[in-house]
């Protein structure tokens, strides 16, 4: 569309020219203002405070420029918090829908020591950005510093739900301020499995094993199995001397709720090798490793009672060793007497001395008792056993299949050995 203005009278022409020149001046002024504001508020550049102050003269109504001047004032060694507040409030008035300016104002108010005003500014920011993680986090901290613990917990939880990395610093802060209040750190922890595992890890770091176990146990067993950090909770409980709690939680996890704490003491897990071993959750199941002297696996070809048994194929290398490649941790009562029974079979076993079943102290790895060695040659399934007394203060022991050379060199071991149907029973004390 073209607008054609016909001006015939000289006076009218002059007025039109002047109006045009005035419009050009206004447009030029606006352009200059935008250029100045744009250059000075570009976050990719560092602009001195003095230059920002001069820029405000050209663009006094630029909210971004006022906000940046307030930020620069805050960072100055000789800062004037009143001037910074004035610029921040002006930025809020010029751009009332931008929550960032209200967060800036909150920072200035808190720097002045006026936390109540900081809280007000953050609440206004929250109205504009109700889902913003940082606003919730900032408000939670301001509330906490005012002693409003109860109100802060809800804000911490909202922040942690939206941002997992904020959970650990939140836990540490709330734990300290609340004087190690378990309910407080639970309140700020989201309900998902990953968050609860992080809370359990945190509690373990505070030497609160029972509480950590309770949090871990509140997670659905299937969800625990899917969390890569979950096995570490079991390991940490064991290392901190809480083997019984670890065993209960482990059994509850791998059997999806079938583990019972009162049935875990004096029980061998998967003694018949019929259950699949979860390599990530093998703390109380069989650990089956390999070395250069033997190849070990659970095999379906030969079994004693069920469908599977442990098979060890010796490779025929001299000075054959089996240390703790095959082992399982189990719970015991301190000072109680136990009998460990199992079945063994051999085929073409040629060895200076066959492998033994050895019970060792879980802490010191010291052997407590050992069975007779597996017989050489080819022998059908036969029952074997070993009896022992749990050492004082022991809560768990290790059963392992070992073949330790008596000398620095002995002849190679060849052939195959099977083990199956391990069972553990507590024996009555002798009268």
User: 3-state DSSP call for residue 381?
Assistant: strand
Tell me the CB-side half-sphere exposure of residue 324, using CA atoms within 13 A.
12
Residue 389: what pLDDT?
Answer: 95
DSSP 307: S
Q: Locate CATH 1.25.40.10 in the chain.
A: 53-262
Locus of tokens 């039109």 = 16
**C-alpha torsion 67→68→74→76, nearest 10:** -150
Q: Which of 357, 416, 353 is CA-nearest to residue 383?
A: 357
Contacts 24+ apart (CB under 8 A), 39-43: 40/65, 40/68, 41/65, 41/67, 41/68
What CATH topology corresponds to 53-262?
Answer: 1.25.40
Global pTM reads: 0.80
Residue 8: pLDDT band by 50, 70, 90 thresholds?
low
Q: What is the 8-class DSSP label of residue 229?
A: T
Least confident of 5-9, 16-20, 24-28, 228-232: 24-28
Which tokens go with 36? 């100045």
Q: Specify whether the CB–CB gap between 344 and 418 falls below 8 A.
A: yes
Superfamily designation of domain 279-427: Galactose-binding domain-like (2.60.120.260)
H or E segment at 63? Answer: helix 63-75
Task: Grade residue 77 by pLDDT with cuts at 50, 70 and 90.
Answer: confident
Confidence of residue 286 (pLDDT cuts 50, 70, 90): very high
For residues 114 and 260, give the distance between their C-alpha atoms in angstroms, rounded to a whole number: 55
For 208-229, write each residue's pLDDT tens digit: 999 999 999 999 998 999 899 9
pLDDT at 71 over 80: yes
User: DSSP assignment, residue 265?
Assistant: B
Distance CA 85, CA 79 (A): 11
Give the residue range(s) of CATH 2.60.120.260 domains in the chain: 279-427
* Nearest in space to 72 (alpha carbons), one of 94, 54, 98, 93: 54
Q: Rounded to an integer, what distance in angstroms lies between the CA atom of residue 295 and that of residue 291?
A: 7
Lowest mean pLDDT among 16-25, 195-204, 250-259, 366-375: 16-25
């Amino acid at each position: 569309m073209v607008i054609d203005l016909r001006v015939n009278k000289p006076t009218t022409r002059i007025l039109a020219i002047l109006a045009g020149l005035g419009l050009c001046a206004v447009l030029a002024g606006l352009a200059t203002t935008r250029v100045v504001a744009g250059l000075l508020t570009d976050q990719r550049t560092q602009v001195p405070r003095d230059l920002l102050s001069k820029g405000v003269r050209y663009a006094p109504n630029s909210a971004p420029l006022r906000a940046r001047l307030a930020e620069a004032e805050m960072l100055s060694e000789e800062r004037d918090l009143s001037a910074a507040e004035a610029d921040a409030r002006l930025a809020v008035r010029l751009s009332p829908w931008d929550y960032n300016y209200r967060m800036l104002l909150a920072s200035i108010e808190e720097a002045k020591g006026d936390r109540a005003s900081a809280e007000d500014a953050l609440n206004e920011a929250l109205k504009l950005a109700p889902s913003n993680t940082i606003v919730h986090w900032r408000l939670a901290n301001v509330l906490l510093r005012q002693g409003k613990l109860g109100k802060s917990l809800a804000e911490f939880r909202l922040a942690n739900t939206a941002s997992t990395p904020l959970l650990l610093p939140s836990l540490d802060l709330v734990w300290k301020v609340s004087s190690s209040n378990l309910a407080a750190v639970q309140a700020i922890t989201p309900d998902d499995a990953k968050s609860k595992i992080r809370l359990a890890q945190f509690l373990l770091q505070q030497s609160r094993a029972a509480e950590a176990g309770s949090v871990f146990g509140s997670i659905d067993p299937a969800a625990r199995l899917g969390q890569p950090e979950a096995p570490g909770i079991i390991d940490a409980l064991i290392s901190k001397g809480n083997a019984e709690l670890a065993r209960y939680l482990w059994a509850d996890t791998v059997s999806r709720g079938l583990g019972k704490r009162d049935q875990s003491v004096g029980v061998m897990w998967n003694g018949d090798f019929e259950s699949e071993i979860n390599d990530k959750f093998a703390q109380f199941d069989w650990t089956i490793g390999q070395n250069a002297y033997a190849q070990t696996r659970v095999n379906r070809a030969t079994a004693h009672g069920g469908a599977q048994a442990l098979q060890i194929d010796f490779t025929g290398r001299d000075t054959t060793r089996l240390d703790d490649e095959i082992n399982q941790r189990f719970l015991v009562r301190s000072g109680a007497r136990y009998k460990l029974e199992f079945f063994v079979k051999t085929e073409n076993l040629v060895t200076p001395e066959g492998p033994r079943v050895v019970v060792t102290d879980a802490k010191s790895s010291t052997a407590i008792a050992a069975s007779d060695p597996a017989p050489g040659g080819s022998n059908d399934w036969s029952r074997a056993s070993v009896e022992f007394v749990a050492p004082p203060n022991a809560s768990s022991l290790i059963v392992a299949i070992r073949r330790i050379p008596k000398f620095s060199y002995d002849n190679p071991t060849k052939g195959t050995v099977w083990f199956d149907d391990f069972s553990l029973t507590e024996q009555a004390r002798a009268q």
